[in-house]
Amino acid sequence: MNKYKDKVVLVTGASRGIGKAILNKFAKHGAFVIGTATTETSADIITKNVTADNNTGIGLVLNIADKLSINDFSHKLKDLNAPCILINNAGITCDNLLMRMKDDEWEKVINTNLTGMFHVTRLCMRAMMKQRYGRIINISSVVGLSGNPGQSNYSASKAGMLGFTRSLAREVGSRGITVNAVAPGFISTEMTDELTDDIRDSILNQIPLARLGHPEEIANVVDFLSSDQAAYITGQTISVNGGMYMG
């Protein structure tokens, strides 16, 4: 099925977990995918992962919190067709109680998750405006809606993404560009695999469906929001959290 044939899709933070699942979904549906990672090694793995299945795409290095890296990335994009679908997935955590949180722990998370998303989106915007077509999907988090102790920086960054989503949707809707957010709950990834049994049980007790989500379940929602079937949906946040937060 080639429903994204002739479309270029950019997914930030695509070397593992949710980002990898999203990238693979688009690649299997015929898109030319560009996946980013913070190291050359991880970028090369993305390229091999995509091309191993005879799909088309490339992995590129990008640190979205670094203006020099963004500038270098923008030059590399000029050698490729401009993305018409952007998935802002890259993000970090640096957890601590607010009373103990250092300035750099706050700034690193905000600069990556929120300011970095701004820079990448702005980089892709001109081509989408010119084409009068685009899909932008921002990967937020359940804690951007509910909050979470020890994650004031991360929660603030993910809540900020939701305000950004709604504001940008109002700005660019008349140009045929939709902007939406997906707010995952706890998803089974390399990060959650490291949780202790006690922490995992505590999380599961908060989830009505009594299980962690799968990266592919996030990718499915992103796929829908990027498709023609979702052309009249914009400025929305879709929660995919097993019922953990119902707002």
Catalytic residues: 154
Cβ-contact 144, 240 below 8 angstroms: no
Q: Identify the H or E element spanning 131.
A: helix 116-131
Instruction: Please state the φ and ψ torsions of residue 63, each to the nearest 5 degrees.
Output: -105, 105
Amino acid at 235: G
What own/partner pairs with CB < 8 Å and gap ≥ 24 does 103-110 have?
A: 105/153, 106/153, 108/65, 109/153, 109/154, 109/157, 110/153, 110/156, 110/157, 110/160
Q: Identify the H or E element spanning 240.
A: strand 237-240
The Cα–Cα gap between 164 and 122 comes to: 12
Cβ-contact 239, 245 below 8 angstroms: yes
- Burial of 101: CB neighbours in 10 Å, binned 0-12, 13-18, 19+: middle
The Cα–Cα gap between 177 and 159 comes to: 22
